[in-house]
Amino acid sequence: MTQQLTIALTKGRILKQTLPLLQAAGLAPVEDIASSRKLIFNTEHANVRVVILRGSDVPTYVRHGAADIGVVGKDMLLEFGAEGLYEPLDLGIAPCRLMTAGFSGRENTRTRIRVASKFVNIARRHYSSKGIQADIIKLYGAMELAPLMDLADEIVDIVDTGNTLRANGMSPLEHIADISTRLVVNKAAMRTRHDAIQEVIEALARTVDQAANRGSTS
């Protein structure tokens, strides 16, 4: 039997929006992922399986060839780099913005700014491109708490509805990038397993087009 293709999926909000795409593309997992503690699932396509990962680990699995294909937020690619990866398709799901945020109107008298984020590389590049000296503080979640607790002056985070910032008395300040979920492919696998990978890309591309057409006609 041919070796199965492995697609690394990002758990959480992205996974919820990926499953209908996989379903429509004939790649649905054969078990209910939500009610299982398993991490590897066969799909209704005999040659395709999926694994469930944290988004920050998806580029690593695909770069090293442990997975052939990945579904991951553009924020993760900007933060961890896309070396060794092709990015053939914007899946158009989980759209949001990467922003700086803080208390608007508050005078910042510091000569250096303190910035809390889990996106430390993106934050470093952003402030350095503006010529601002920034001390970047790495956090793993609940970034909005950092300015409230005077751990940081600003944060760099994902903004979707803006509700989390508003609920904590903050505002989005500067736009860094528009984010959506991307399909990534290991470059070596794209050569050695081209036909099988192309079949998956095309099936998902058709599904994304159909979803976009439905959206534009509704």
CB of 11 to ligand PRP, least distance (A): 11
> Binders of ligand PRP: how many residues, by CB under 6 A?
11
Which of 179, 178, 116 has the alpha carbon at shortest distance from 144?
A: 116
- Which of 131, 141 has the CB closer to ligand PRP? 141
Q: How do strand 113-117 and strand 134-138 relate by DSSP bridges?
A: parallel
CB of 74 to ligand PRP, least distance (A): 14
Which of 204, 185, 178, 168 has the alpha carbon at shortest distance from 45?
A: 204
Q: At what angle do helices 13-24 and 194-217 cross, to 10 degrees?
A: 100
Among positions 2, 35, 129, 161, the unique one binding ligand PRP when judged by CB under 6 A: 161
Q: Assess 158 for contact with ligand PRP (CB under 6 A).
A: yes
Which residues have CB under 8 Å from 210's CB, separation 6+?
24
Query: Interface residues for ligand PRP in 11-40 (CB under 6 A)?
Result: 13
Q: Assess 217 for contact with ligand PRP (CB under 6 A).
A: no
- Which of 160, 209 has the CB closer to ligand PRP? 160
Q: Assess 162 for contact with ligand PRP (CB under 6 A).
A: yes
Q: Assess 164 for contact with ligand PRP (CB under 6 A).
A: yes
Q: Assess 178 for contact with ligand PRP (CB under 6 A).
A: no
Q: Assess 154 for contact with ligand PRP (CB under 6 A).
A: no
DSSP, residue by residue, 13-35: HHHHHHHHHHHHTT--BSS-GGG
Residue with token string 């989390």: 164
Q: Assess 171 for contact with ligand PRP (CB under 6 A).
A: no
Among positions 141, 149, 195, 217, the unique one binding ligand PRP when judged by CB under 6 A: 141
Rounded Cα distance between 2 and 65, Å, is: 16
Rounded Cα distance between 33 and 39, Å, is: 8
Q: Assess 159 for contact with ligand PRP (CB under 6 A).
A: yes
> Binding marks (x or -) toward ligand PRP, 67..86, rule CB under 6 A?
--------------------
Q: Is the Cβ–Cβ distance between 11 and 70 less than 8 Å?
A: no
**Strands (DSSP E) found in the chain:** 5-10, 40-42, 48-53, 69-73, 85-90, 96-102, 113-117, 134-138, 154-159, 171-179, 181-186
CB of 54 to ligand PRP, least distance (A): 9
Residues that bind ligand PRP (CB under 6 A): 13, 141, 143, 157-164
